[in-house]
Amino acid sequence: MLQSSDPSDFRPTPDNKPMPLAEARARIVAAITPIRDCERVPLQAALHRVLGETVVSRIDVPGADNASMDGYGYAAADLAAAGDTLQIVGESLAGHPYDGSLDAGECIRIMTGAVVPADVDTVVMHENTRAEGRRLVVEQPPKAGSNIRAAGEDIAAGATVLAAGCYLRPADIAILASVGVSEVAVVRRPRVAFFSTGDELRPIDGPIEPGEIYDSNRHGLAALLAELGMEGIDLGVVGDSPEALRAAFQQAAGYDAVVTSGGVSVGAADFVLDVLGEQGSVDFWRVAIKPGKPLAFGTLGNARFFGLPGNPVSTAVTFIQLVRPALVRMAGGHPALPIRLDLPTLADLRKSLGRENFLRARLVTTDAGQLAVDPIDHQGSGVMRSMSSADCFIVLPAAQQDVPAGEMVTVEPFAQTLWGHPPD
């Protein structure tokens, strides 16, 4: 592991031992300062934002005891005394409560959501009764107290509805509306500058010559940032020279985070680490994963800096594994732990010792109805089809070797919760 008292002195050497992923992730997340600035937005604009305040309810939800079934309401003690036959004296509908009282042997017709009057303690569902004019025969009496939702049973007045740091999903918007919240404070979105490095890169809307490639990573990064709800700032393509990188770094230093692709290895044209060491500081370099080993994490001005490798699959894997949890934290949220499943692999897996591997794969249901995982054939770190046609990673630990078909392996689905709950 890199140890340097003055990080600006840092110059990477291939001898720096790559850091295990779990350690790198914990170290990165711990180095993040969550954004505190908030803005107030109308409730409907708060979807997929991080709640910046704890919301306490002013009211009970529901506000009164109410029926959970269409049926008839009565006092259970009366029903027994009346031999399961009652007189219907009125009705309570949602929005139109019954405002009279009930005497012995009486009941009211009551609908779902309607207020339960004080004299009623039980509701029998319509299907278990027989009405004959104003006479009601209760054919199957429920237990006393049945089919009534108590006032405050969902949320009591004074209770916390949602804690600061919640990522707002549709159910959260609904629950905030249920307590009469029309506007909420949400955390400002992190502003994340990103750029690609490489003299071979060309814009996607023009021609390319042999030896040139389209700058696909920058567009992939833009999409990953947008998916996460970040405000992305596209700084374009930067050439492989220290001068060009210095200018780009200066421009990027004012944002909350910087994500770059390429130029972070030990090649003759890889200057990202040098310039980061000059203008900021390097916390660590290299993570023991495949794909994605060369990765620089550090600080540049106000920004946390993530120098990702240029091979497109490596860029995506390192973003997902390391940048995403960091940005969730920066956004005021709580990164969820990845969900992992143990499933049989349908094909042999090649694996050499040393690094944790993230193979791209698909979840499948076998003819026998069992969930299994099918690795994509071509696992090259430049083969973006392996990522695009996958829906999960097979995660093989550093010490693992080849795995024969049929063995159980650890699988991380792509579709999983990224935003965990604030601690209670």
Q: Return residues touching Mg ion (CB under 5 A).
A: 198, 262-263, 310
Task: Please name the residue ranges forming H helices in 311-404.
Answer: 312-318, 324-330, 385-388
Nearer to ligand AMP, 261 or 386 (CB): 261
- Tell me the residue type at 413: P
Report CA-CA distances (Å) from 294 to 65, 71, 111, 133, 337: 61, 68, 65, 82, 23
Nearest distance from residue 260's CB to Mg ion, in Å?
A: 10
Distance CA 118, CA 124 (A): 16
375: left (phi over 0), alpha (psi -120 to 50) or beta: beta
Nearest distance from residue 197's CB to Mg ion, in Å?
A: 6
Nearest distance from residue 275's CB to Mg ion, in Å?
A: 14
Q: Which residue has the tokens 């005021």?
A: 332
Nearest distance from residue 4's CB to Mg ion, in Å?
A: 25
With CB under 6 A as the contact rule, which of the stretches 36-44, 163-171, 308-316, 398-406 interacts with ligand AMP? 308-316
Nearer to ligand AMP, 72 or 195 (CB): 195
Backbone phi, psi, residue 184, to 5°? -135, 160
Nearest distance from residue 281's CB to Mg ion, in Å?
A: 22
Q: Are 358 and 311 in contact (CB under 8 A)?
A: no
Nearer to ligand AMP, 32 or 316 (CB): 316
Nearer to ligand AMP, 162 or 252 (CB): 252
- List 25, 49, 218, 304, residue binding ligand AMP (CB under 6 A): 218
Backbone phi, psi, residue 14, to 5°? -65, -10
Q: Which residues pair with 252 in a beta bridge?
A: none
- List 56, 177, 213, 408, residue binding ligand AMP (CB under 6 A): 213
Nearer to Mg ion, 92 or 260 (CB): 260
Q: Is 190 in the site for ligand AMP (CB under 6 A)?
A: no
Q: Is 265 in the site for ligand AMP (CB under 6 A)?
A: yes
Nearest distance from residue 381's CB to ligand AMP, in Å?
A: 8
Nearest distance from residue 202's CB to Mg ion, in Å?
A: 13
Nearer to ligand AMP, 91 or 199 (CB): 199
Nearer to ligand AMP, 382 or 397 (CB): 382
Q: Which does 312 bind (CB under 5 to 8 A by kind): ligand AMP, Mg ion, none?
A: ligand AMP
Rounded to 10 degrees, what is the CA torsion of 409, 415, 417, 418?
90
Count Cα atoms within 13 angstroms, Cβ side, for 329. 19
Q: Is 267 in the site for ligand AMP (CB under 6 A)?
A: yes
Nearest distance from residue 199's CB to ligand AMP, in Å?
A: 9
Distance CA 402, CA 352 (A): 7
- List 52, 117, 198, 335, residue binding ligand AMP (CB under 6 A): 198
Please give the full DSSP string across 281-319, using - where no structure is assigned.
Answer: EEEEE-BSEES----EEEEETTEEEEEE-SSHHHHHHHI
Long-range contacts of 383-391 (CB under 8 A, 24+ apart): 383/313, 384/216, 384/220, 384/312, 384/313, 384/316, 386/313, 386/360, 387/312, 387/313, 387/316, 387/317, 387/360, 389/360, 389/362, 390/360, 390/361, 390/362, 390/414, 391/361, 391/362, 391/363, 391/415
Nearer to Mg ion, 83 or 267 (CB): 267
Q: Is 386 in the site for ligand AMP (CB under 6 A)?
A: no
- List 53, 84, 91, 200, residue binding ligand AMP (CB under 6 A): 200
Report CA-CA distances (Å) from 355 to 10, 199, 342, 358, 405: 24, 30, 20, 10, 21
Q: Is 92 in the site for ligand AMP (CB under 6 A)?
A: no
Q: At what angle do helices 242-252 and 272-279 cross, to 10 degrees?
A: 50
Q: Which does 196 bind (CB under 5 to 8 A by kind): Mg ion, ligand AMP, none?
A: ligand AMP
Q: Is 196 in the site for ligand AMP (CB under 6 A)?
A: yes
Of all residues in this chain, which one has the CB nearest to ligand AMP in the complex? 310
SS3 53: coil
Between residue 354 and residue 383, which ones bind ligand AMP under the rule CB under 6 A?
Answer: 382
SS3 77: helix
Nearer to ligand AMP, 92 or 261 (CB): 261
Interface positions with ligand AMP (CB under 6 A):
196, 198, 200-201, 213, 215-218, 261-263, 265, 267, 309-312, 382
